[in-house]
Structure 1
Amino acid sequence: MSGDPGLYDYLPYKGRPKITWPNGAQIAVWIAPNIEFYEYEPPKNPLRTPWGRPIPDVLAYSHRDYGNRVGFRRMLDAMDEAGFRGSVSLNVAMCDHHPEIIKLCADRGWEFFSHGVYNTRYAYGMSPEQERSIIRDSADTIRKWTGQKLDGWLAPALSNNAWTMDLLAEEGLLYTCDLFHDDQPTPIRVKSGHRFVSVPYSLEMNDTIVYNTNSYDPRHYGTIIRRQFDQLYREGATSGTVMCIPLHPYLVGQPHRIEPFAEAIRYIAGHDRVWKATGREIAQHFLANHYDDFAAGAAQAR
């Protein structure tokens, strides 16, 4: 069909193969802090303007810089208290700009996946060769600074091209966060035939959408997180579910916002059958234990 990008098969939520998480968990919960750097005067992109105001936008730049200077530490303390490791959605230029933040995350065993080089440089308009070079640069930078292999991808500002998933799989990554279609991992079709999956990320739980788009107050954000968890936790008793909480330190780390978030993740941590996972761990477990069953089920549904 011309209206379907063909990235994944339709497999109805009920009747799928059962997912089992480690140690009998009903739900895999992962927190994805976006550790980002926004350039003051970024190069122009032919398809998107990075700032809503004329460049140089001192207001927007400094607001986002608050996250790296202040908000990150509040968010870090809240996650430490609740026992959550992060899966860092990393603008890899942060390794040069703020290596002290990278070290704090690495010392805690957090995962690093790529969110591009800068969050003000998009994949729109790139050739496949240019995009591949960004993927390789991200992998090299993360390996240099953390010793980790790059396994996951969230495109800067969610900018994709028709060939993006194919390139990610060809470069040896395991998962993408750029699809918002499900509450369980999904096999993704790529030309190489490599095993590549979508790990559920979330716009609904994303503090950018909650605060900047929907204009909800911090207490309501805490309620949203708890309600999302409660529903997915119940459903996970039948087949394991995934909940992602994407964060931006310049938003969630504001003084008037941090405690409702901290309360919500303490609430989640207080339940027994919760796997406090990373994106990599979810992808690896699904690939090793459930990918084949899901792919076969999708083929049968076709």
Structure 2
Amino acid sequence: MSITLRHHHRYSYQPIADREDFLWPDGKRLAVYIGLNFEHFHFDQGYGAALVPGRRQPDVLNYSWRDYGNRVGAWRLLEMFESLGFPVGLIVNSTIADYCPELILAYRQKLSSELIAHGRTNSESQNEFDEEGEAELIAESRDKLIAAFGERPVGWLGPWIAQSRATPDLLAEAGFVYHLDWAHDDQPVWMDTRGNGEILSVPYPQEINDIPHQVPQYGDYREFEARIIDQFDEMMDQSRRQSLVMGIALHPYIVGQPFRLRSLRRALTHIAARRRDIWLTTPGQIAEHYAGLFPG
């Protein structure tokens, strides 16, 4: 008996070895960006990365560990990014605007940055809502960031990267140009939406991401440093044949810990030494450049 697998019908298969060639600005082949997640949580309910799992609510241990990122870690990271001259994509839960807006304002004042919507809070998962509720979540997050920081986000990363079947449609209808939820490629990919529309998927890493590596995998922080360096060096070699995107996904409560920060600084210094050979950028600039070359 044969089986026909259910399909998302958002894009068709196209091997990376068989695509039209293109260049990033100034003839560069490798685009590198930092995706820095600013997250805010309920004190006594909902989801959240756990340093020690299985705790009862109120979970003071894990809540306070995550809050260290907003109070301390993010500020140390800001100093590092400023010293290295790195632009940063600011992936922001909208309730951050109520809790610590000065943190986002400091990044916007001191760095070349882009505001990326990240739902309301990472205490909730985006795909646990019906379509009407999800549309409200998207609109509330977008509108709160506009009101608080005066910038309309054109990019989206869902809380817990948890899309429903309608998410690409709802994002496009809410005015978003791209999202970071799919980890299926090393180049941007146009995805179909209802009503003959499209939305761009910009690569966002799950292997070069501190949460999967440090929390469920209990990875050594120095191994994460090695991952970043090896990923960069290998993609530099691969990009001689075709232009690629390398993202680095970070969370201040994890890499903002002093011992991990020192290790991360070594990895990013390795990348910064090749800044003349790469395009240090943000996801929004990647989306804008790619859409200019391939309008969809």
Under TM normalisation by the shorter chain, which class is it?
Answer: over 0.9
Contact kept in structure 1, 2:127 and 2:134, CA below 8 Å? no
Q: What's the CA shift for 1:290?
A: 2.6
* Mapped partners of 1:194, 1:286: distance in 2: 17
| 1:197 aligned partner | 200
**Structure-to-structure mapping, 1:72-221, within 5 angstroms:** 72-107=74-109, 108-221=111-224
Name the SS for the 1:121 alignment partner: coil
Deviations 1:16-44 (A, max 9, x none): 11121001111111101110001112369
* Mapped partners of 1:224, 1:125: distance in 2: 33
Contact kept in structure 2, 1:175 and 1:197, CA below 8 Å? yes
Tell me which amino acid in the other structure corresponds to 1:221. F
Determine which of 270, 280, 284 is the counterpart of 2:284.
Answer: 280
| 1:250 aligned partner | 253
* Mapped partners of 2:233, 2:196: distance in 1: 36
* Mapped partners of 1:42, 1:287: distance in 2: 40
Q: What's the CA shift for 1:149?
A: 1.6
| 1:17 aligned partner | 20
Please identify runs of 4+ aligned residues in structure 1 that moved more than 4 A: none
Q: What's the CA shift for 1:145?
A: 1.9
* Mapped partners of 1:42, 1:160: distance in 2: 21
Using the size of structure 2 for normalisation, the TM-score is: 0.92
Contact kept in structure 1, 2:45 and 2:58, CA below 8 Å? no
Contact kept in structure 2, 1:124 and 1:159, CA below 8 Å? yes
| 2:50 aligned partner | none
Q: Matched residues, percent identical? A: 34
Contact kept in structure 1, 2:189 and 2:200, CA below 8 Å? yes
* Mapped partners of 2:77, 2:281: distance in 1: 17
Contact kept in structure 2, 1:195 and 1:287, CA below 8 Å? no
Deviations 1:206-241 (A, max 9, x none): 001111122222221111001101111111122210
Q: What's the CA shift for 1:109?
A: 3.5
| 1:63 aligned partner | 65
Tell me which amino acid in the other structure corresponds to 2:269. R
* Mapped partners of 1:186, 1:115: distance in 2: 20
Please, which runs of 5 or more residues in structure 2 have no aligned partner? Answer: 48-52
Equivalenced residue count is 286
Tell me which amino acid in the other structure corresponds to 2:74. F
Contact kept in structure 2, 1:42 and 1:121, CA below 8 Å? no
Q: What's the CA shift for 1:152?
A: 1.0
Contact kept in structure 1, 2:222 and 2:263, CA below 8 Å? yes
